[in-house]
Amino acid sequence: MEIGNPAPGDNKFRITVDISMAPDAIGDFPILMQAAPKYGLIFMITKMGYFFMFESFKGSLIYRQRITDQLIFTSVRNMTTDGLICISKAGQILSINVEENNLVKFVMNAQHIQDNRNVAFRMAQRYSLSGADEIFLQQFNQCFAMGDYAGAARAARESPGSIIRNQETINKFKSLPNPPQGPHPSLIYFSTLLETSKLNEIESLVFVPPVLQQGKQAIVEDWIAKDKLTMSDALGDVIRQYNPTMALKVYQNAGAPDKVIMGLVETQQFDKIVPYCQQTNYKPDFMKILRAMVPNNP
């Protein structure tokens, strides 16, 4: 059962499935279960030492393998890999992990999984996993060619990594002509992304400047507050031309101590410089800071 906020495009769901035990373990039964939120998987171990791996959206059995002939009596989630660490009665310590770059490809080629391509696509879409890149690209190109720019933007938004969300895609949208009515396709693209996700570094640097040029600083400030932009030195430099105080927030979130200090100088918050250095354990070049301060405020 899904709790919290569902993934974009999905409703909350509850699914019930039967567990098919191995042919040589008819009387077997589950004794341990662990969720892997990073991949949307559920791990299960049985009394006879079988390991099961289910995907959580449909409850499809992805993988089943006997990993030990000893009783496993305890397990814990591996917080580093989102895998499983368990201990058997004989003292075996077993570490079970998912090969992230192969998971979606495995599901897509697994004939034992019903509707396996759709299951693989869902996993890639919901958990930003690689392996279904061609499907996302095909969906994006099809929508773009038909003039369905919102649909193309949704395909980009749901795609993992930067296979679509890159400078090339932005240039594609920017090169389109202005329509007789309605917003420009590039505006549709960015606004669709912002509905349920944050802009990556390239998108933030492209979309923020024209908004600031229109005098809409409050909108950018709202995006920063709602974590809709990727913080970077370069973004802070862009915003600094319009609002040094807002730029200071960006530098702080981007982890750029030199520029944070320069921002404190520029906004005349001199009393915060030393506490900031102490808080972040940063040792600045104070002579450099003084040279920057004197022309602004002797």
| pLDDT attached to residue 19 | 92
> What is the arithmetic mean of pLDDT over 232-253?
92
| pLDDT attached to residue 8 | 60
| Whole-angstrom distance, CA of residue 41 vs CA of residue 61 | 10
| pLDDT attached to residue 74 | 93
| Whole-angstrom distance, CA of residue 269 vs CA of residue 161 | 38
The CATH number of domain 30-98, selected from 1.10.287.70, 2.20.70.10, 2.60.40.1890, 2.40.10.480: 2.40.10.480
Q: Which two tokens stand for residue 66?
A: 């006997």
Q: What angle do CA 4, 39, 114 make, to 5 degrees?
A: 100
| Whole-angstrom distance, CA of residue 186 vs CA of residue 207 | 9
Share of the chain above pLDDT 90, in %: 60
Greater confidence (84 vs 284) lies with: 84
| Whole-angstrom distance, CA of residue 229 vs CA of residue 221 | 10
Share of the chain above pLDDT 70, in %: 98
> What is the arithmetic mean of pLDDT over 47-68?
94
pLDDT-derived band of residue 57, with 50, 70 and 90 as boundaries?
A: confident
- Tokens 């697994």 map to which residue? 110
The closest of 56, 72, 63, 64 to 25, measured between CA atoms, is 64
CATH topology (fold) of 198-296: 1.25.40
151-186 tens-digit pLDDT = 999 999 988 888 899 999 999 999 999 888 889 999
Residue 296 pLDDT greater than 80, yes or no = no
Helix axes 244-254, 233-240, angle to 10 degrees: 170
By three-state DSSP, how is residue 97 classified?
A: coil
| Whole-angstrom distance, CA of residue 254 vs CA of residue 127 | 25
> What is the arithmetic mean of pLDDT over 227-252?
92
Fold agreement (30-98, 198-296): no
Residues forming a β-bridge with 223: none
Q: What are the sequence ranges of the domains in the chain?
A: 30-98, 198-296
| pLDDT attached to residue 112 | 92
**Burial grade of 136 (CB within 10 A; 0-12, 13-18, 19 or more):** buried
Q: Which two tokens stand for residue 108?
A: 């897509």
pLDDT-derived band of residue 295, with 50, 70 and 90 as boundaries?
A: confident
- The mean pLDDT value of the chain amounts to 90
**Burial grade of 234 (CB within 10 A; 0-12, 13-18, 19 or more):** middle
| pLDDT attached to residue 7 | 63
pLDDT-derived band of residue 10, with 50, 70 and 90 as boundaries?
A: low
